Structure 1
């Protein structure tokens, strides 16, 4: 069963310096029908004006993934990490027992566009951790985060995995789903067919009670999406 969460139905917060679209309830946006999906709690589609950003704030017991679509994030945290996260790279910050960090648009002239993703961990109170990596732009499915960190993936503290999907025009892949698991697809670029369901940029799809998904690009431009395998 596939249930679509349309981009235009997402919550929205616009503070001038930040324009944020919320797939699930977050901040001042609350919808009891959209509190997350399995261990996936937050997907925020954020655009930040030049030199602006999120001042130092704290998190605890949350797996926080940032994926930059355009621009660069200037990151600083209480564990001593001072990093720049450019477009195309993934960052995984395990908040664990507690961490403070700030995120700013590194540019003083161009906007920053990124996805902020929260996944609830299956262990709590552990030492905070920071990981960052560029996985390239290979066609097909590329594993980004896994519970074991196998094959150079980011290690996430949950029985979940994240894949990057890139499909050239006219191509397709199949994504197998283990029994009793579910999948969430977040569409970023292009027109993606998930089985017989069409997704546009910003759309999401909850997938339940299925053993596989056929992912196809039937549009006129390349497709980019994120695919979450969830408990």
Structure 2
């Protein structure tokens, strides 16, 4: 059923075209940055609410990120294809496969490494950082598998502070994946006032709040409590709901 929204005129939005993302290529790593990161800085793209980083990373076979530290950041990894080998100072040592969602609460301090687990295939994953709600918590790790069937023409919550079926996050933030077939619509309702959403189109063509998204485009939306998505072609996308203040 199509939802109506009497407050549509109060929608505020910011469009993030895929071709305006930052781009670095170190040979072993080909990365597009939605927000300022590392060697790339844009004064108008430092964050969207509590969303601080969204990197679209492609890593060559057997290559990766050596052991390095993090503190007070919620770090989510979502493989789009391929597998990552992860190891960290909490004692976690495992593989993150396509279909998995991983979160690491860096809290008071953690060290970790991530490498392409394959010796002959690339891995592509989204690396997303969220500012934490509470600082200096004990570092923690979680990982779960989410099947594609659970997101067909519906939202599948994969990260949440309250949903036991999702991985837990130290923030009032929610990550939802969806695969929307042509001609179908989905409505997303925020969990609380002063929350916004960042919609990132993985592939396909999608319309939301009068904005058309194509592959890797994104839009930040806030100001109302419900947003409607409509697919022009089969579309895979991620909605990140975060506090705006």
Q: What's 1:227 paired with?
A: 239
CA deviation profile, 1:145-204 (whole Å, cap 9, x unmatched):
1112x2411110011111112112221111123433211111101111113211111111
Q: What's 1:105 paired with?
A: 116
Q: What's 1:173 paired with?
A: 186
TM-score (norm: length of structure 1): 0.96
Once residues 164 and 73 of structure 2 are traced to their aligned partners in structure 1, the CA distance between those partners, rounded to angstroms, is 23
TM-score (norm: length of structure 2): 0.90
1:34 to 42, 45, 64: 45
1:155 to 168, 179, 182: 168
Q: Secondary structure at the match of 1:8?
A: helix
Once residues 186 and 7 of structure 1 are traced to their aligned partners in structure 2, the CA distance between those partners, rounded to angstroms, is 10
- Does residue 124 of structure 1 match 2:135? yes
Q: What's 1:25 paired with?
A: 36
2:91 to 60, 75, 80: 80
TM-align CA RMSD: 1.1
Gap runs ≥5 in structure 2: 1-11
1:56 to 67, 71, 76: 67
CA deviation profile, 1:53-84 (whole Å, cap 9, x unmatched):
00000000100000000100000111111110
The Cα shift of 1:13 comes to 0.8
The Cα shift of 1:210 comes to 2.2
Say which is worse superposed, 94-103 or 161-170, in terms of deviation.
161-170
CA 1:127 to 1:179, structure 2 compared with 1: closer, same or farther past 3 Å? closer
Q: Secondary structure at the match of 1:216?
A: strand
Once residues 170 and 106 of structure 1 are traced to their aligned partners in structure 2, the CA distance between those partners, rounded to angstroms, is 38
CA deviation profile, 1:108-154 (whole Å, cap 9, x unmatched):
10101000000000111111111001121121101111112x24111
- Does residue 188 of structure 1 match 2:223? no
Once residues 26 and 223 of structure 1 are traced to their aligned partners in structure 2, the CA distance between those partners, rounded to angstroms, is 27
The Cα shift of 1:2 comes to 2.4
Number of equivalent positions:
228
2:158 to 140, 144, 168: 144
- Does residue 213 of structure 1 match 2:227? yes
Once residues 203 and 229 of structure 2 are traced to their aligned partners in structure 1, the CA distance between those partners, rounded to angstroms, is 14
Q: Secondary structure at the match of 2:40?
A: coil
Gap runs ≥5 in structure 1: none
CA deviation profile, 1:88-118 (whole Å, cap 9, x unmatched):
2100011111111100000010101000000
Q: What's 2:3 paired with?
A: none
